Amino acid sequence: MASTPTSNRGTWNTKIGFILAAAGSAVGLGNIWGFPTQVADNGGAAFILIYLLCCLIVGFPVMVAEFTIGRRTQKNPVGAFKALSNGNPLAALIGYWGVLCGLMILSFYVVISGWTLAYVFEELLFFIGYESLAETIGDLGNGPKNAIFTLAFMVLTVLIVTGGVSQGIERATKALMPILLAILVVLIIYIFTLDGATDGLRMYVSPDFSTVSGGLVLSALGQAFFSLSLGMGALITYGSYLNKKQNIVESAAYVTIFDVGIAIIAGLLVIPAMFVAQAAGVQIFNPETGDLFSSVTLVFDVLPEMFHNVGGIIGMLLGVTFFILLGLAALTSSISLLEVPVSYVIDEHNVRRKKAAWMVGGIVGVIGVIVSFELGLIDLFVFIFNEIGLPLGGLMICIFLGYFWKTENALLEMKDGFDNIDNTAFGPVWTFFVKFVSPLLIALVLASMVWGLFGG
């Protein structure tokens, strides 16, 4: 049995607590705002099928890899790759890259999350008749206002992370995830009582394969990495707080199914809601091209419009609950982004958790304020750290695990908590995916992205 260093680092209290925390990390803006927008942008159900394939053949194997590296080393990503590398200094670079991606992704994630907070107030103010104040708070281009909500969200994130693993992260996600699911279901039931909703459902379930292209596969893979929280060691870090009794493979399966499930359910709300707004006269699709008018700001531009059209106290309650829901989902994700650099500072520089969280949070807050005023940076950061950064991280993790640390060692670690692993086909199948299928697919996607950059 593999022995691991013991330390006074935190651990998850319960099996379900870990699964909910990892699912909480996965479920976020990516599911409720990103996924439905991408579905609508890419012709509906055909995108969903390709996305499911990406989650299954790349996402799930990489998730198992991250959990395993984390539990084996019980370290942050930098420490983890150092520990497994036999002194090769290059390996730690994978970890440093993850810490950097975490910092930079969080810097714009808190700005968008700040918008969700702001829209809770916008909906309330609109309802009680303070329309011009509502408009100011809902103005996505208002720098000082953005900065205030960004910092507020950053402080919330830091406060949970200072609470540590079981008292902070596990407790928060255990309470928040079920509420999230309940609110989603209520909103879906309501939306289907409105005109136009079934048109949305039609688009959502009937695949149009004429829309499938190389670009669509790129979007689907990028979305899978972002939504499952993969490629930068967030799940290495969460895996580092796991005990030896937990079945890693089973946990990864639950988290993947949960994340995909919530995205599909969120689409069932947002896509019909778009068509309801359209039936109420809001322009959503360009009638000439069939493209979405506002893909990035869809949730923040179009949905409040719909809530206002519903009107009255019902419209307000729908709006407020929707944005609280989005904010909660974002919070359980942002804590995992912050936990990566924080655990790095705690482990590698011997700083106390509280100090580490405020320090790293302060740095992210400063960058977040800059982004609040310069929204163009969001696209730039998304491009460098999400679209390139995460798949690149995933590729390096696969190569490191498959060819340096070796999958046999990883499978030995997985045996703890999964006693009869050798009697299943899991080992050879997973090995095949981690060594060949996943890295090849990611490399292809990255290569075609570079090809596109240089005008190919």
Contact between 197 and ligand TRP by CB under 6 A: the answer reads no
The token duo for 215 is 């670009």
For residue 99, the minimal CB distance to ligand TRP (Å) is 12
The b-or-e profile of 303-334 (16+ CB within 10 A means b, else e) is: bbebbbebeeeebbbbbbbbbbbbbbbbbbbb
Contact between 227 and ligand TRP by CB under 6 A: the answer reads yes
- Interface pick for ligand TRP out of 24, 30, 95, 304 (rule CB under 6 A): 30
Q: Which of residues 242-261 bind ligand TRP (CB under 6 A)?
A: none
* Closer Cβ to ligand TRP, 157 or 321, answer by number: 157
For residue 157, the minimal CB distance to ligand TRP (Å) is 11
Contact between 55 and ligand TRP by CB under 6 A: the answer reads no
* DSSP symbols for 113-157: HHHHHHHHHHHHHHHTT-HHHHHHHT-TT-HHHHHHHHHHHHHHH
Residue 366's DSSP bridge partners are: none
Angle CA 428–234–216, to nearest 5: 70
Contact between 371 and ligand TRP by CB under 6 A: the answer reads no
The stretch near ligand TRP (CB under 6 A) out of 28-36, 84-92, 195-203, 438-446 is 28-36
What Cα–Cα distance (Å) separates residue 159 from each residue in 154, 180, 334?
A: 9, 20, 12
Contact between 173 and ligand TRP by CB under 6 A: the answer reads no
The stretch near ligand TRP (CB under 6 A) out of 122-130, 168-176, 228-236, 396-404 is 228-236
Q: Count H helices and E strands in the chain, helices first.
A: 22, 0
- Interface pick for ligand TRP out of 48, 50, 232, 249 (rule CB under 6 A): 232
Q: Which of residues 299-338 bind ligand TRP (CB under 6 A)?
A: 333, 336-337
Contact between 28 and ligand TRP by CB under 6 A: the answer reads yes
The stretch near ligand TRP (CB under 6 A) out of 127-135, 222-230, 310-318, 371-379 is 222-230
What amino acid is encoded at 279 in this protein?
A
117 contacts 146 by C-beta, under 8 angstroms: no
For residue 378, the minimal CB distance to ligand TRP (Å) is 14
Total site size for ligand TRP, rule CB under 6 A: 15
Cβ neighbourhood burial of 344 (10 Å; 0-12, 13-18, 19+) = buried
- What is the Cα–Cα distance from 407 to 405, expressed in whole angstroms? 7
24 contacts 333 by C-beta, under 8 angstroms: yes
* Closer Cβ to ligand TRP, 304 or 391, answer by number: 391
145 contacts 137 by C-beta, under 8 angstroms: yes
The stretch near ligand TRP (CB under 6 A) out of 165-173, 182-190, 191-199, 227-235 is 227-235
Contact between 22 and ligand TRP by CB under 6 A: the answer reads no
- Interface pick for ligand TRP out of 229, 237, 256, 343 (rule CB under 6 A): 229
Angle CA 229–356–76, to nearest 5: 45
Taking Cα atoms as reference points, which of 253, 258, 260, 256 lies closest to residue 424?
253
Contact between 234 and ligand TRP by CB under 6 A: the answer reads yes
Contact between 292 and ligand TRP by CB under 6 A: the answer reads no
Contact residues for ligand TRP, defined by CB under 6 A:
25-26, 28-31, 226-227, 229, 232, 234, 333, 336-337, 390
